[in-house]
Chains A and B, each alone.
Chain A
Amino acid sequence: MSGALLFAIAGALVLGLALHGFITSSSLLRRLMAFNMMGSGVFLVLVGFAQHDRGADALPQALVLTGIVVAVASTALALLIFRRWVATTGSTTLPEDG
């Protein structure tokens, strides 16, 4: 068991936990945060698994760096749409959630 594999496993656990939060919460804000954390879990799996029993690997690191930046842009966009939704409807959830 290397430290890198340990972080990959932690990433898998974060992914599972965040997936559960994503399914069970009806607040759109919480869902967005859960979605973000699912991404973080995937990033940990990507880099941790690739670097298991060997040193730093620039390829998965560059991939994940791209992923982090795209994640923040999509989060900012989702927050913008969410705030317009709240301003328009006065609700923080979607209709089918009640």
Chain B
Amino acid sequence: MTMLIFDALLGATMLVAAYGALYGRNDFRAVVMFVVFGLLLALAWVRLDATDLALAEAAIGAGLTGALLLDTVGFLRSQPVKAGEAEVVRQQRLHSGTVSSVLSALASAGVAGALIFALVHDAPFRAGGLADTIVRETPRSGTSHPVTAVLLAFRAFDTMLEIAVLLAAGLVGVAVREPGRATALATGDRLAVSSPILDALVPRLIVAMILIGAYLLWAGSYMPGGAFQGGALLAACGVLLALTGPATLDMDEQFRIRLLLCIGFTVFLAVAWAGPLQGRAVLMLPAQSAGAIILLIEAMLTISIAAILYSLFVNAPSSPLTTSARGSQ
């Protein structure tokens, strides 16, 4: 009962944070509330016994996405936004018309209401899921953690296509980057901000983050953790380095970067088609070495996920603040 009250409070706080993120007075406040929402969501995952999701949400939903959004807010502030645009946006919201505002409120309330009705109405009649089957079959998959078994053995096809989607996003990012003008981060620019605390903290943090990322990857074979969480942490590590800039990775080495982007998908594809060549089904792993192969795929996935997310970040147009700071030196 006590926990149910806690859950209800957590849910309500999440809604308040979501409201703040959607309707906050300025973009900075909204992004901060978005990060708060992500952290509360991570707590909700813990309450749902989904430690994998809690780890991913804290690293990705709150951490990495928050950092990307905050950096974008900083970028927006540095841009010469069209005169009076903020005013226009505000006016538009005021005068958007009663009919359309009532309609949009009705539509969203209808979607949420219908969904809640269906959830409450159908919950007692729900048929059994696959949870028991998964727990029973996990020991045969080469890993002892059920979520990893689903991701890399039972539903490995989904995960392979997922890394393909990520690769596509990364490639679009490379294609969309501004031609001619290398992004400031690629040319080794650093923020105008510099402080002894930052200089002392960042190298130590980087070491800790790489260690934790590697540990998460390794832990994934027998407990919550794995390629996604590890990869996100390494990407966050890259973003931290790019923002504070004691040492930037050289994005101009295009070939090596592209190799990192696609190594996860390539290795996954190779493993998938090694099956038919040896008389097994596609993506079927040999029973005696399944554990080692899963770890290999996960390691490559970690590298690719980190590289893709990092390259998406550094390929974005950066604020002229950093570039001009360097230009004037």
Chain A residues in contact with chain B, CB under 8 A? 1, 3-10, 12-21, 23-27, 29-30, 33-34, 36-37, 40, 43-45, 47-59, 61-66, 68-77, 79-84, 86-87, 90-93, 97-98
- Among B85, B115, B130, B134, find the residue whose CB has the most chain A CB atoms closer than 10 A: B115
Instruction: List B contacts of A27 (CB < 8 A).
Output: 27, 89
Q: Which residues from chain B contact A63 at a C-beta distance below 8 Å?
A: 158
Residues of A contacting B37 in the complex (Cβ-Cβ under 8 angstroms): 37, 40
Distance A76 CA – B37 CA, assembled complex (angstroms) = 18
Q: Is the CB of A6 within 8 A of B162?
A: no
Q: CB distance A59 to B131 under 8 Å?
A: yes
Q: Contact check, B312 vs A73: say whether CB atoms are below 8 A apart.
A: yes
* Contacting pair A17 B112 (CB below 8 A): yes
Q: Of B65, B81, B92, B109, which one neighbours A16 at CB under 8 angstroms? A: B109
**Smallest Cβ distance from A10 to chain B, in angstroms?**
3
Q: Is the Cβ of A12 less than 8 Å from the Cβ of B22?
A: no
B interface residues (Cβ-Cβ under 8 A, vs A): 3-4, 7-8, 10-12, 14-15, 18-19, 21-23, 27, 30-31, 34, 37-38, 41, 44-45, 47-50, 52-53, 56-57, 60-61, 64-65, 68-69, 72-73, 75-76, 79-82, 85, 88-89, 92-93, 96, 101, 104-105, 107-109, 111-113, 115-116, 119-120, 123, 126, 129-131, 134-135, 138, 146-147, 149-151, 155, 158-159, 162, 165-166, 169-170, 172-173, 176-178, 228, 231-232, 305, 308-309, 312-313, 315-317
Nearest A residue to B178 via CB reads A84
Q: How far is the CA of A38 from the CA of B44 in the complex (A)?
A: 16
Q: Are A83 and B317 interface neighbours, CB within 8 A? A: yes
Are B312's CB and A68's CB within 8 A?
no
Which of A17, A69, A70, A76 sits near B108, CB closer than 8 Å? A17
Q: How far is the CA of A36 from the CA of B38 in the complex (A)?
A: 10
- The secondary-structure label for the interface of chain A is helix
Contact (A75, B65) CB under 8 Å given A3-B4, A58-B149: yes
- Most A C-beta atoms less than 10 A away, residue of B119, B135, B308: B119
Q: Are A13 and B68 in contact (CB under 8 A)?
A: no
Specify which chain B residues have a CB less than 8 angstroms from the CB of A93 in the assembled complex.
85, 89
Q: Contacts of A43 on B, CB cut-off 8 Å?
A: 53
**25 A-B contact pairs sorted by A residue (CB < 8 Å):** A3-B7, A4-B48, A7-B47, A10-B12, A14-B14, A16-B115, A19-B111, A20-B104, A20-B105, A34-B22, A40-B41, A49-B119, A52-B126, A55-B49, A57-B134, A58-B149, A62-B147, A62-B151, A65-B151, A69-B231, A77-B169, A77-B172, A87-B178, A90-B80, A91-B85
